[in-house]
Amino acid sequence: MGDAPVPPGHGRLRTQRNQSGGRCAIPECAGAYPLKLLRVDQRAFEISDSRAFDNGDQTDSKKAAVAVDSAMVYVLTYGGGVVSGDAVSLDVEVGDGTGLVLLSQGSTKIFKRRRDTTDNLSEVAWWTIDCKVNPGGVLVVGMDPVAPFAGSLFRQHLKITLANHTSGVVAIDWVTSGRGTRGERWAFNGYESKVELWLGESSSLWCRESLVLGDESTKKSSAGAVHPTSYSTRLGFDLFECFATIIIAGDPCTRVLEDVEGMWNDVLVGGGGVKDKRVERNEVVWSASPLPRIYAPYRSPKSGEKLEPPAPVPQIPGLVVRVAGKTPEVTRTFVKGTLLRSLDSVVGDWGSKA
């Protein structure tokens, strides 16, 4: 990152600690059409030392001093979405001991392909976010779901690199069935989203989560066709309108991890569903899995060399949570208001109740 001009469709965002008071500052925040980055007044982003966490079923009053001083930035596009051929990219660096929350004003719409295009990569709308989280930093990727319109093609890649175990991340990757009010339910031609978690100390890939939905009849259907795609019919997607994958990792997110693990253990032991009065038991299906164990990179020995046993690799706590909801509204309430209810104690009021 630097002072070089920002090319079209690209953005750069960086946080650091203010030398005078140690507060989180944003020395770089720039985006070029169709991407727009909007900072939020940090004073409206703080919480008091004592607050109540309400999960709709019970209120748990706890001391919740904010762990890191954080900033909030809205990631927007002119028109509220992207069209075929758009390539939007964003480079993010979270400075030492700072927090950054990325949000959006509503869902990111993926508009249908142009009628005069042929089936090639120029039709695809691309979205790439490359994030680096330095020691003591925390990143929250909390943008609203992607909403692909009928006949659209979309590919997304979110890459997050954690410096070490002192870095933290909470990333939500989710998609809705489209414009339900227009009769469009899983009627897009292609959707691909990939989330990667890398470790900076070893430059190794730790976790990759992908969701790929491709219509086998894409080349036979018109760009404006409104019909359920073949995969939605086979997989029974008519039961759900929103799918979400949440990755939580790093020491700063320990409280969030413990909270989610506790809820999941209650489900496993008691066989219960969602303990939230705002969400009916049969409206959300979810699961939680630990991130894989971290191993030292393998190195082949040279001729005659005797390799010493690798030193123990510090483990980083982490979970992958998968959620399917009957409606986008119910899914949002469950993810932001229930699963991630304690995230306020890490980065401040991040809009979970908005």
Sequence letter at residue 2:
G
Q: Which range of residues forms the domain containing residue 266?
A: 24-292+316-347
Per-residue tokens: 299: 């190195």
Alpha-carbon distance 208 to 289, whole Å?
13
User: Judging by beta carbons within 10 Å of its beta carbon (0-12, 13-18, 19+), is residue 332 exposed, middle or buried?
Assistant: buried
**pLDDT tens digits, 56-101:** 444 443 434 467 889 999 999 988 889 888 899 999 999 999 999 9
pLDDT of residue 304: 74
Instruction: For residue 142, give the nearest of 265, 259, 45, 274 by alpha carbon.
Output: 45
Structural domain includes residue 12? no
Residue 278 lies in a domain: yes
pTM for this model (two decimals): 0.85
Q: What is the DSSP string of 279-320?
A: S-GGGEEEEEEEPPPP-PPP-PPPTT--PPPPPPPPP--EEE
Q: What is the pLDDT of residues 262-294, one digit of tens each?
A: 999 988 886 655 556 566 667 899 999 999 988
Query: Is position 10 within any domain?
Result: no
Q: Is residue 35 part of a domain?
A: yes
Phi, psi of 219, rounded to the nearest 5 degrees = -70, -15
Position 180 scores a pLDDT of 78
**Structure token pair of residue 92:** 């993010």
Number of structural domains, the chain?
1
Q: Where are the alpha helices (DSSP H) in the chain?
A: 230-235, 254-270, 328-332, 344-347
Q: Is residue 259 part of a domain?
A: yes
Question: Is 47 a domain residue?
Answer: yes
Is residue 307 assigned to a domain? no
Residues of the chain with pLDDT under 50: 44, 47-65, 218-224
Q: Given this model, what pLDDT does residue 233 score?
A: 58
Say how far apart CA 344 and CA 340 lie, in whole Å. 8
Q: Tell me the backbone φ, ψ of residue 340, rounded to 5 degrees.
A: -105, 30
Q: Could you give the CA distance from residue 258 to residue 226 in angstroms, rounded to a whole number?
A: 43
Residue 248, domain member (yes or no): yes
